[in-house]
């Protein structure tokens, strides 16, 4: 940063030189013309340096500006000559321009804008949401009564998209894997959700405005603070930015105490009033209700669909011929009483889940169709890379499984199938990653867990969870209900096995522990082989041993006459075991919202005076597959349009016929905004044109062939490129209107 000195030293006095040298010495670096890398001013941020290097450059440039400002003031105080002061001011202004340039690029980097006129994330989101609500894809529920946060209605095109997504989900999973589909009630008795752990543990941490009592979700406030600082405070150092990013990355792992400490450390207050906040405390997210008029049978609106499958395992296993592996699936509504719902369809109080429970032998988690996905390569984010601060990278699925990064073949198979499902829907593969849960993020019973995360304007959003839940759920319901939810492997010949037998003497335990007898009996029976044999040895040598009962939270004395422990040899004809569960769980609303964003773009009108909105939905999920337009109001053309419409209906193609006199260009624009992939324009009684939405290319086909061509493409039997090669091309100015 000494490059200012040569500009003014030719006529400056030695005293002036010493003053300026001292002012600049504290900010000196290696002699160079500028600390600004040469590419900052000539390339957009997507090609330029990272956010971290931009922050460092901005800090250095700010220091240089301050140093040169001090130098200018020193020159003026020393009454240097006007040319000397002017040269110093010119250099200072040049530094300020460079600083401003870095600020703009940093702002673009953190906001998601390319700095070249491309919309920022917020502006893009607003444009997409405005279009979605205006065209009735979805709208706030109970709108005329000012709505209720976290509740939304799907309009006609939104319902069609959702229906198409669910139809493809059934085809891709239920039909492809021969799954058993069930449909269970939304109202669930308390005992079921008590056994699953939801009554005690299905919570989020909440804080309250200490003066008004308004509730906020604690992690959301911390997340908003970190994002706000990163995106709008360009003065924070690279180190501070790294700290805030680490907080965001580990947000889900913070305990109530750690979360409260961070809120206090950063001085976070209530967003609306700036009042102080309470310490975080757990809030159960389930909607409570009662079953029957007496109100004596408590229940809840289900927070997930999985429990209905688990409690039906015994019957489903019988229906499947007592064979493993098999999978059961359910699509249905779930309910969560979100503390502060936001982000549109991403966080709502009622939503659609599609869940699969794949039951498998815990000793054999191979999958017969694993070879079909083994060579897929996509973005994966293993926990080791997360802990080291690295980014997701493309990994071959087979390598991830063989190295043990993914726990087993069946889990890997479903990760691959989820990737194919999402990308075929229209999710951008470069904005889709599979993130592995950190060790302290997983439930204690889970063997492995991965989230399919999709990047949208809100950041990376978890849309699918794929977990190996071991045998936890079936065991929990077996213990609570008393009904064994188990499977059996029959042996071709009997096998002699040595089994541990633990027989509590209930009479003696009842006399000793009275009301706590049941807790002690359950704890004794739950001992593993090592614990039981150690107790047997201790009882034989000492006659009494201290035994910890976790449900009582204390040690109790166990005497020799209270329990019998032995090993017996038996012949068994089968192995009875509790199956493990691989669970892919899909948040349908989240997937649909990300699909909306990934499909939305704008393009200029033919005149260039406005931007037209387009949804590039694949035909698979498009709400309407085709439109039929008579070019002008003409009875013959309208009759042909009706014939084509009837053919499309017969072929099962959703379509819309428009015989209004509006210009063809405006009709194209209206249907592009709904994501309709094809338009048939009737301009003769023999041949018609078929226009493709994104390329705006048109081909000429006969009236008789029109419906069949559209059906073949929408059904995936051929591509638009195939159609373009086969049929005569048609050019028309109206296609570009």
Helix 218-232, helix 256-265: angle, nearest 10: 40
Residues 691, 708: Cα–Cα separation, whole Å: 15
DSSP character at residue 675: T
Confidence of residue 177 (pLDDT cuts 50, 70, 90): very high
Q: Delineate the domains of the chain, giving CATH numbers in brackets.
A: 52-111 (1.10.287), 203-284 (3.30.40.230), 493-575 (3.30.720.200), 608-726 (3.40.50.800)
Residues 313, 304: Cα–Cα separation, whole Å: 16
Token pair of 553 as six digits: 């939270």
- CA torsion through residues 296, 302, 306, 312, sign: positive
Question: pLDDT by residue (tens digit) across 449-474?
Answer: 999 999 999 989 999 999 999 999 99
Query: Taking residues 535-564, what's their average pLDDT?
Result: 90
Confidence of residue 112 (pLDDT cuts 50, 70, 90): low
Token pair of 626 as six digits: 């085709």
DSSP character at residue 561: G
pLDDT at 9 over 50: no
Query: Hey, how many other C-beta atoms are within 10 angstroms of the C-beta on 634?
Result: 15
pLDDT at 589 over 60: yes
- Quote the pTM value: 0.78
Question: pLDDT by residue (tens digit) across 336-380?
Answer: 999 888 888 999 999 999 999 999 999 999 999 999 999 999 999
Per DSSP bridges, beta strands 580-587 and 350-360 are: antiparallel
Query: Hey, how many other C-beta atoms are within 10 angstroms of the C-beta on 700?
Result: 14
Token pair of 706 as six digits: 């029109």
Query: Taking residues 84-95, what's their average pLDDT?
Result: 85
418 backbone dihedrals φ, ψ, rounded to 5°:
-65, -40
Instruction: Give pLDDT, residue 45.
Output: 32
How many degrees, rounded to 5, is the angle at CA 58 between CA 55 and CA 59?
90
Could you give the C-alpha distances from 517 to 256, 303, 558, 683, in angstroms and in order? 35, 34, 12, 87
Residues 273, 222: Cα–Cα separation, whole Å: 16
């Amino acid at each position: 940063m000494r490059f200012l000195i040569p500009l003014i030293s030719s006529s400056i006095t030695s005293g002036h030189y010493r003053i300026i040298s001292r002012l600049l010495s504290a900010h000196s670096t290696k002699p160079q013309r500028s600390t600004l890398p040469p590419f900052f001013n000539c390339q957009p941020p997507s090609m330029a340096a990272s956010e971290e290097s931009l922050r460092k450059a901005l800090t250095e440039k700010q220091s240089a500006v301050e140093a040169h400002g001090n130098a200018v003031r020193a020159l003026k105080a020393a009454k240097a000559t006007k040319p000397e002061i002017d040269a110093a001011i010119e250099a200072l202004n040049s530094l300020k321009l460079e600083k401003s340039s870095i600020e703009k690029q940093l702002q673009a980097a953190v906001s998601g804008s390319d700095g070249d006129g491309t919309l920022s994330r917020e502006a893009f989101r607003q444009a997409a949401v405005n279009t979605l609500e205006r065209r009735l894809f979805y709208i706030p529920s109970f709108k005329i009564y000012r709505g209720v946060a976290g509740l939304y209605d799907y309009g006609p095109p939104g319902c069609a998209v959702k229906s198409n997504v669910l139809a493809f989900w059934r085809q891709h999973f239920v039909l492809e894997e021969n799954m058993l589909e069930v449909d269970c009630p939304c109202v669930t008795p308390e005992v079921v959700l008590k056994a699953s752990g939801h009554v005690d543990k299905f919570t989020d941490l909440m804080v309250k405005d200490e003066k008004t009592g308004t509730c906020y979700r604690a992690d959301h406030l911390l997340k908003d603070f970190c994002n706000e600082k990163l995106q709008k405070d360009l003065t924070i150092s690279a180190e501070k930015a790294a700290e805030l990013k680490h907080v965001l990355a580990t947000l889900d792992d913070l305990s109530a105490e750690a979360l409260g400490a961070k809120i206090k450390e950063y001085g976070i207050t209530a967003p609306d009033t700036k009042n102080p906040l309470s310490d975080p405390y757990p809030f159960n997210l389930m909607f409570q209700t009662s079953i029957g008029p007496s109100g004596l049978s408590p229940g809840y609106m289900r927070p997930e669909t999985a429990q209905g499958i688990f409690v039906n395992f015994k019957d489903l296993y019988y229906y499947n011929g007592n064979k493993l592996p098999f999978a059961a699936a359910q699509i249905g509504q779930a309910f969560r009483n979100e503390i502060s719902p936001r982000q549109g369809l991403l966080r709502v109080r009622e939503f659609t889940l599609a869940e699969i429970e794949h039951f498998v032998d815990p000793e054999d988690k191979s999958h017969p169709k694993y070879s079909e996905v083994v060579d897929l390569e996509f973005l994966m984010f293993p926990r080791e890379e997360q802990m080291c601060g690295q980014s997701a990278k493309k990994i071959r699925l087979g390598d991830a499984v063989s190295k043990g990064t993914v726990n087993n073949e069946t889990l890997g198979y479903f990760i691959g199938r989820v990737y194919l499902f999402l990308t075929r829907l229209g999710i951008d593969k470069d904005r889709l990653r599979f993130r592995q849960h950190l060790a302290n993020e997983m439930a204690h019973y889970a063997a492995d867990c991965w989230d399919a995360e999709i990047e949208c304007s809100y950041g990376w959003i978890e849309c699918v969870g794929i977990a190996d839940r071991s045998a936890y759920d079936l065991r929990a319901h077996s213990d609570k209900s008393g009904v064994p939810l188990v499977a059996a492997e029959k042996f071709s010949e009997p096998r002699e096995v040595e089994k541990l037998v633990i027989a509590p003497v209930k009479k003696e335990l009842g006399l000793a522990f009275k009301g706590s007898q049941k807790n002690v009996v359950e704890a004794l029976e739950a001992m593993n082989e090592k614990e039981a044999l150690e107790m047997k040895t201790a009882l034989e040598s000492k006659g009494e041993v201290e035994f910890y009962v976790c449900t009582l939270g204390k040690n109790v004395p166990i005497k020799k006459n209270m329990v019998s422990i032995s090993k017996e040899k038996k012949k068994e004809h089968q192995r009875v075991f509790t199956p493990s569960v691989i669970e892919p769980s899909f948040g349908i609303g989240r997937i649909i919202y990300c699909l909306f964003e990934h499909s939305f773009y704008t393009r200029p009108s033919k005149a260039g005076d406005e931007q037209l909105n387009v949804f590039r939905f694949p035909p698979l999920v498009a709400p309407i597959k085709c439109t039929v337009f008579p070019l002008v109001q003409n009875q013959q053309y309208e009759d042909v349009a009706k014939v084509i419409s009837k053919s499309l209906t017969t072929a099962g193609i959703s379509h819309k016929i428009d015989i209004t006199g509006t210009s063809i260009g405006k009709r194209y624009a209206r249907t592009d905004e709904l994501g309709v992939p094809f338009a048939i324009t009737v301009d003769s009684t023999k041949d018609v044109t078929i226009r493709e939405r994104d390329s705006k290319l048109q081909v000429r086909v006969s009236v008789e062939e029109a419906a069949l061509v559209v059906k073949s493409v929408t059904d995936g039997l051929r591509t638009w490129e195939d159609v373009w090669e086969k049929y005569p091309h048609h050019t028309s100015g109206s296609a570009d209107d």
